[in-house]
Chains A and B, each alone.
Chain A
Amino acid sequence: MLRLDKVNKYYRVGTHSLHALRDVDIEIADGEFVAIMGASGSGKSTLLNILGILDDYDSGEYRLGDTLIRNLSERKAANYRNRFIGFVFQSFNLLPFKTALENIALPLYYQGVTRRKRNQIAAQYLERVGLRDWADHTPSEMSGGQKQRVAIARALISKPRLILADEPTGALDSETSRQIMDLLSEINAAGITILVVTHDSEVAARTRRMIRLKDGLVVSPHDAGASHPQLARQPQTAAES
């Protein structure tokens, strides 16, 4: 599905250089449900941006499927993001002046799908996330959980192979968080690879594998997925978040 080989990323801060990712090797297979964990500044956001083709890396190799993702033009990068990757953000990032339906349909607009067709498809996805009656509502009329459902539907509409979720429950209460994670699990069960960046161990516990980052290094890249119920109870993990 995707593979990182000795990926390094530096940030230049004044005269200093910050080594944000150090020789990161990650391999994720089709259909996995993976949590990327780490404290603030551990490099997890940087990793997510690189995986999402939102940012470049300095050395190493990133392959998404069979495609080497490196020095792409902005146009090509936009095209790959549109077709291969769905994003779910902590702050939902819905366009405030568009209805739920129009928000969901947006990725198809960038594919040049006609308005009638993309709204038809968007309606199906809206139903899938349980918000059929909310099509004509704008985000300001919806609760946080509903907004995140719309965002998930938007991420799904272009039938991506990979969903990148950046703290998807960070702005939600625990009951709503649980529902969102249920939805993500359901989507994963349908065969879509999901990567969740989080520092919430309960969220991580719902995934099937965990990658921990510390100071730009992968600490336990191949942590056994089966062990996660214990992980959730480990005090040091909770402390780190």
Chain B
Amino acid sequence: MIDLDNWREIWAVLRSNRLRTILTAAGVFWGILILMLMLGFGSAMQTGIRRQSKGMATNLLFVWGQNTTKAYEGMQPNRWIRFRHSDIDLLRTLPGVEWLAPRLQLGGWMSNFNVSYEGKTGAFNIFADFPEFKHIVAFEYDAGRFINDRDIAEQRKVVVIGKAVVDELYPPGVNPIGTYIKISGVYFQVVGVTRTLRTGQQGDRDAHTLFVPFTTLKTAFHINDRVDFFAMTARPGTDGPELERQVREALQKAHHVAPDDKVAIGSFNMFVIFNKLETIFFVLWAISWIVGGATLLAGVIGVSNIMLITVKERTKEFGVRKALGAPPSVIVGMLIKESIVLTAAAGVFGIVVGTGMLAAAGAILEKVPDFPLAAPVVSLQTALVAVGVLIVAGALAGIMPASHAASIRPVEALRAE
């Protein structure tokens, strides 16, 4: 029964005890505000941390060689494990491996080499890579492409360069594609310019990297049989720990490493990290709803409480209404509507204020892109769910007082003062 009088009546009743209405509404307002802020900052943290790992596959495994700690099959401990080219074929045959990217850095881990273009020189990272690397770290291309299979097969002297290489070596307006740059005395033709999706230190390193076909680098710089590390993704259906088990087992066998030597082969399992993160995000989300919801519940109980008092005060009025022919359902409906209006109005106000506060916080946080807290956003969906929760909560808060009002016999209600 949507009747204008209905709403005017509700408004009149709520206004007739202004202070009480405001205090009651404040409880609900506060509850929904806390819920909004917690959800907003929870998702901001999630977005912020995810942003830092953007551009990387989430089912990644890295393995590299270290020193053995145990004697095994006649070998002494403290032997350095160096991966060989034969390990590439070995790992490719493992059932859990989806994409395998053997990598080699010219000069070893974290070394820089001089790269020059028409007289300008800078120090950069040089990596030997296979085409599969594009499945490990996703790049966008300002121009050109990544290393392909023909580059590998024909040992082409081509190179894919990072954005920083272009910025530091090329005059503005020059298209680097097709030009030749000199890496440690050897000329390579530029076939692609990458733009990283990662931020911060990792992004910076990506921008300062040159990618050369694995086979080309090996021949051009006379590198012997070695692979610095393997990056790989797990085939769908294989989880991170299982992939790591397969890889370790194969490598331990090939390099005569004791099966219980945990140190000889180093590894980094993104999968596990991501799983932990997801768990943390979930817990954060759940806590937001529990704490925010509990605060809201306290507000709603306040509404119910006030409604009970209201009903007591208005008993006579209900008696009159009943005498004039109001059936119990109308009395119940009227009070539940009143409860919903009070709860929803206070709640929507809380959502608006909460959204405003989050937007203000977002304006500040947007200026620090590397901070693990992105601009907090409460999705429309969440806001709608919150409004839904409010309406249901308002209805629930009204049920008890309303059914109490409806159950008073008219003769008793009329006698009340």
Contacts and interface: CB of A to CB of B under 8 A. Distances in A.
Contact of A81 (B4, B316, B325): B325
Contact of A52 (B316, B320, B323): B323
A78 B328 contact: yes
B154 interface: no
A55 B321 CA distance: 15
Interface residues of A, number: 28
A78 B325 contact: yes
A207 B247 CA distance: 107
Interface in A136-161: 154, 158
Interface in B193-241: none
Contacts of B325: 78-79, 81-83, 107, 110-111, 158
Given A74-B327, A83-B325, A110-B327, A97 B316 contact: no
Interface in A38-85: 49, 52, 54-55, 74-75, 77-79, 81-83
A30 to B, nearest CB: 21
B323 A110 contact: no
Nearest to A164: B323
Contacts of A77: 410
A148 B94 CA distance: 95
B328 A98 contact: no
Nearest to A74: B328
* Among A74, A110, A115, A158: residue with most chain B CB under 10 A: A74
B327 A115 contact: no
Given A55-B411, A78-B322, A115-B3, A93 B316 contact: yes
Given A54-B414, A102-B5, A109-B5, A93 B320 contact: yes
Contacts of B317: 95
B411 A54 contact: yes
A135 to B, nearest CB: 14
B5 A115 contact: yes
Contacts of B316: 93
Contact of B324 (A97, A107, A112, A115): A107
Interface stretch (B8-16, B59-67, B267-275): B8-16
B4 A115 contact: yes
A75 B411 contact: no
A114 to B, nearest CB: 8
A163 to B, nearest CB: 12
Interface string B308-347: 0000000011001111111111100000000000000000
A115 B8 CA distance: 12
B409 interface: yes
A87 interface: yes
A87 B5 contact: no
A69 to B, nearest CB: 14
Contacts of B326: 78, 110
A45 to B, nearest CB: 9
Given A49-B411, A54-B411, A74-B328, A97 B321 contact: no
Nearest to A77: B410
Given A54-B410, A115-B3, A87 B327 contact: no
Contacts of A89: 320, 414
Contacts of B1: 112
A82 B322 CA distance: 9
Contacts of B16: 97
B324 A75 contact: no
A198 to B, nearest CB: 18
A61 to B, nearest CB: 19
A106 interface: yes
A49 to B, nearest CB: 5
Contacts of A93: 316, 320, 323, 414
A133 B122 CA distance: 94
A81 B323 contact: yes
B333 to A, nearest CB: 12
B8 to A, nearest CB: 8
Contacts of A75: 327-329
Contacts of B328: 74-75, 78
Contacts of A79: 325, 327
A89 to B, nearest CB: 8
Nearest to B413: A54
Contacts of A83: 325
* Among B9, B323, B409: residue with most chain A CB under 10 A: B323
Interface string B281-304: 000000000000000000000000
A139 to B, nearest CB: 12
A21 to B, nearest CB: 14
A110 B9 contact: no
Nearest to A154: B324
18 contacts: A52-B323, A54-B414, A55-B410, A74-B327, A74-B328, A74-B406, A75-B327, A78-B322, A78-B325, A79-B327, A82-B324, A89-B320, A93-B320, A95-B320, A98-B12, A106-B324, A110-B326, A115-B5
Interface of A: 49, 52, 54-55, 74-75, 77-79, 81-83, 87, 89, 93, 95, 97-98, 102, 106-107, 109-112, 115, 154, 158
Interface of B: 1, 3-5, 9, 12-13, 16, 316-317, 320-330, 406, 409-411, 414
Given A55-B410, A74-B322, A115-B3, 18 more contacts: A54-B322, A74-B327, A75-B329, A78-B327, A78-B328, A81-B322, A87-B324, A93-B323, A93-B414, A95-B317, A97-B16, A98-B9, A107-B324, A110-B324, A110-B327, A112-B1, A115-B5, A158-B325
Q: Which 4 A-B pairs have the closest CB atoms?
A: A82-B325, A97-B12, A55-B411, A110-B325
